[in-house]
Amino acid sequence: MLHLGFCSVCGTGARALRSCGGCGAIVVQCDECDAVWTSAKVTAAPLFLKQPDLPCPHCAAPLATPPSHWATAEEASAAPWVADAVASGAITLSSGHPFGDNSPPSDSAASEAWNKVDLSE
Ligand SMILES: [Zn+2]
Ligand SMILES: [Zn+2]
């Protein structure tokens, strides 16, 4: 996943870019507490969408379930607000998860499993 670092709400999750399966919008969603921001202004108060579906603030499609998914780098760079925020230095995107070791394991079997986990997100 692509993330903006730790969530300011719960302090333990990653604020990651989520691609809506309904409208294709990119939002920022914490993978722990599900706080959502619809712009790069993550210092603003987040939205807390209705559990468990997390209806998209733009189209009401469920963000929690497929085809919604963690945004790819291509999807993120295609979203104007993300591209602008990265270009202006407002946000810095990192890949992987802010916890633990995100590097692929060295042996091939474990590496393959790691890639499958990565793709399933
Ligand atoms: Zn959070
Ligand atoms: Zn949507």
Domain that holds residue 13: 2-120
What are the phi and psi torsion angles at 102 (to 5°)?
-95, -5
Quote the mean pLDDT of the chain.
86
Q: How many whole angstroms separate alpha carbon 46 and alpha carbon 30?
A: 10
Nearest ligand to the C-alpha atom of residue 60: 2
Reported pTM: 0.80
What pLDDT shows up at residue 59?
Answer: 98
Q: Specify the higher pLDDT residue, 93 or 107.
A: 93
What pLDDT shows up at residue 65?
Answer: 97
What pLDDT shows up at residue 99?
Answer: 64
* Ligand 2 center to 50 CA (angstroms): 14
Tens-place pLDDT, residues 21-66: 999 999 999 999 999 999 999 999 999 999 999 999 999 999 999 9
Q: Which residues pair with 27 in a beta bridge?
A: 18
Number of domains in the chain: 1
Q: Which of 12, 15, 13 is nearest to 4 (CA)?
A: 15
Judge contact between 3 and 97, C-beta under 8 A. Answer: yes
* Ligand 1 center to 106 CA (angstroms): 31
pLDDT over 50 (residue 113): no
* Ligand 1 center to 7 CA (angstroms): 4
End-to-end CA distance of the chain: 7
State the pLDDT confidence band at 100, using cuts at 50, 70 and 90: low
Peptide bond into 67 cis (omega under 30): yes
Q: How many whole angstroms separate alpha carbon 76 and alpha carbon 31?
A: 17
What three-state secondary structure class fits 116? helix
Neighbours of 44 (CB within 10 A): 10
